[in-house]
Structure 1
Amino acid sequence: MHKISDIIFFISKSILKKIVELRNKDKNKIVGKELLGEVSVSIKTLYTEYNFSYSDRYKESVWKKVQDVYGKKIANGSMGDISVARVCMKHCDKYIANVSFQTSCSSVSHFFDYRSSDEKTKRWYLNFADPILFVASRGSLFAQDEIQTLEHPLLCAAQAYLTVNNIKGLESYTKVGNIPTPYLFRNVPYLVEIDTQPFVDGEKFSIYGNAFSYYEYNNPGVLDKAIKVRKKCSFSNIIAMAAPSPKYGCYDKDTILEMFSSVISAFKGAKCMSDNNAVEIHTGRWGAGAFGGNEELALIIQILGAKIAEIDNLVFHAITDNYLENATIVVNDIAKLYNENKIESVDSIVNYLYDKKYKWGVSDDN
């Protein structure tokens, strides 16, 4: 006869094994209520059936050069498919705030260089999106969203595909009201290389933001120096994630929760779409530029979101180093409170950050 203690041990072990299995299962797919919609469409189809034009004449000239170099290769079907998913983390405030995962955080001074994924690591790059997906991509604006969609012009074709086909769950919004619905694009051709701070005749220029339009009409040679069709195509994975709309004074709880919902849903989506590889996400100030968001808070929430989503590496581009240092201190304080069972849910982290009275800044006018 088995002892009662042996039976209890066997039952406990079985329950624990089932919990682990369920957690592992969730890691390998985007579960139902988090996935609003997904589709895979051939790059050939996007190019031949959903072609587009830029309203900005200089961007259109770049797109024509891309087609001269890559048009036949794109049209012959050899580039594969772009996978598209739209996600939404419902009831994020109740989500368990397990911040014990050891995400490696680092920073670099340059903007995105779109290093390709390899056999061990799937790399993702942020698109600091408008609530309307790629809304200004074809015009004369030139902030991060517009730069990235010129570097990866078939994102514009993907947007056209989504709009024309009106697929349920894949409406062209990265946010509906205050509910984040980030998009993830996998296997996007990287066709144009852009240096936002080119040297021309020994002088350094910036073509970021409003400067792009100025040089387009006054000194297009600066743009010619900065924007080149790539000699060899590689492929990028893109996360389109909108920052909260600008406000004034201190951050309220709803805004902080909205930021967490964006980050956790987007980062968990990237984790699930990375085929069990290590995941590396490249990001930046996220809303702390034209929107005047608080850079330290933006970094804190992205680090915590990466931990909760179990992202292996988080790489910040062109941020302020002392904000990252301060953000790391706050994250470590929250991790300590979690280990002491004083913080359990995302809602409790929101309350903690709300009490710190983070303030909105001002727009950088770009």
Structure 2
Amino acid sequence: MASPLSRDTSNSVDEIHLRKLDRNSTDKFTKDIFRQQDNYTSFVSNLENAVQFNGYNLFLKYKPKFQLRNKLLLYDAVTGSRHNYQPSKDGKILMTRWLEFQLPEMYEKNTKTQHRYESNVFQYESEKNTNDNEIDVEWYLNFAHNDLFLYYGSSLLAQDELQVLECLQLASIREFLVADPSHFSSYTIENGQPRPILISNVERVINLDTENIYGNRFAHAPQDVLFKSYKYLKPPLITNIIAIEAPSGGQGHYDLSTIRYVISECYTAFKAAKLLAIKTYELNSKESFDETKTVKTIIHTGWFGCGAYGGNHSLMLILQLIGAQLADVDKIVFHTVSRGFDNEIAKADEYMTKLFEGNDKDKMTVDDLINKIFKEKFEWGESNGT
């Protein structure tokens, strides 16, 4: 059993009912996270850290600290007299940080991973699974900075900051990380290696229509435009977050190491989501998992690393899809914002379709796959400035 934390009421950790990974004992918390899934023991050592919060107490103890006037206006509207938002008192949030997984040796042509494109932003609406014997657990990417949620309170409103503004408990998580870094590292990259951070069971309390206020425009938006842009969600939507940072600032052709990095980062993050599926379902639903049913993992992503970071749109679709296939997730959904990227999508799909041309086998080594992608000479794009 994990070592009990101090019951001193001055201990801020204890006040938020934190449950923490204990590497020095047979840890029931670890077993609770992995739930004896097939082959889970080979991944236990890659769970670098895990903490579980009472989401209500976390929010009260670590209040969001928005610096920008417009973010403060929204925060005050949501938590003040207009809506008086408070998180559910019995909701639990699980945060895990993962060491990089070793990539599988082989990449197979035939995979169970489905993928599709939607010309919209994240909708956070659950898939409608008509199979009563299946349970879907859905995850949404946070296109993170290497220091998690670092700029959430700033003037910027890109994908990362938007997600925090809509899911205010994420801001409280940032304040917890800053208050005592010894409990949990906030970095999604360490010594050049990916360290995905997954957060299960946070409340999305507003839906913000960013058509007229995205990016640098947010800071200058008039109050009336701001208030017309959001919808308060009652009850809140429950969501699960995968935070990883994409490579940035490249020029010319993508090199081998960058291609390998993105595949490995996505594989690690998506495999972790799959490993957390049962535990996350129980947190989301507040119900015990029915072992007669099958759990399905769905990843929602988009133009990861293609905005301010200047990534190649087609290549980043390809690499995310390969990461999902290697992780054996059930479905990956690419939210492409608009129909303005049909050519980039078509190029990615065409490349994946022809991947095994000239190969009479139905699999290749991952090393050969990475070399094959490298030889295609995908080029970096340009930052869009958001």
Q: TM-score, normalised by structure 2?
A: 0.78
CA distance in 2, matches of 1:222, 1:89: 43
Give the conservation status (yes or no) of the 8 Å contact 2:68–2:219. Answer: no
- Residue 193 of structure 2 is aligned to residue 179 of structure 1: yes
- Aligned position for 2:215: 209
Larger radius of gyration: 1
User: 1:231: Cα distance to partner?
Assistant: 3.0
- Aligned position for 1:12: none
User: 1:158: Cα distance to partner?
Assistant: 1.1
Which of 86, 105, 111 aligns to 2:97? It is 86
- Aligned position for 2:207: 193
- Aligned position for 2:29: none
Which of 349, 360, 365 aligns to 2:380? It is 360
SS in 2 for 1:97: strand
Give the conservation status (yes or no) of the 8 Å contact 2:108–2:364. Answer: no
Change (3 A) 1:300 1:115: same
CA distance in 1, matches of 2:41, 2:72: 38
Which stretch of the first structure deviates more once superposed, 156-165 or 105-114?
156-165
SS in 2 for 1:351: helix
Residue deviations 1:142-184, cap 9 Å, x none? 110011100001101112223333346x310111243111111
- Aligned position for 2:351: 330
Change (3 A) 1:58 1:251: same
Q: TM-score, normalised by structure 1?
A: 0.83
User: 1:358: Cα distance to partner?
Assistant: 0.6
- Aligned position for 1:344: 365
CA distance in 2, matches of 1:29, 1:267: 17
- Residue 311 of structure 2 is aligned to residue 293 of structure 1: yes
Percent identical: 32
Give the conservation status (yes or no) of the 8 Å contact 2:198–2:240. Answer: yes
CA distance in 1, matches of 2:368, 2:306: 24
- Residue 142 of structure 2 is aligned to residue 127 of structure 1: yes
SS in 1 for 2:50: strand
Give the conservation status (yes or no) of the 8 Å contact 1:152–1:192. Answer: yes
User: 1:224: Cα distance to partner?
Assistant: 1.5
More helix by share: 1
**Unaligned 5+ runs, structure 2:** 1-35, 129-133, 279-293
One-letter code aligned to 1:175: I
SS in 1 for 2:106: coil
Change (3 A) 1:29 1:223: farther
- Aligned position for 2:54: 42
One-letter code aligned to 1:88: L
Change (3 A) 1:71 1:335: farther
SS in 1 for 2:259: helix
CA distance in 2, matches of 1:29, 1:38: 16
RMSD: 2.4
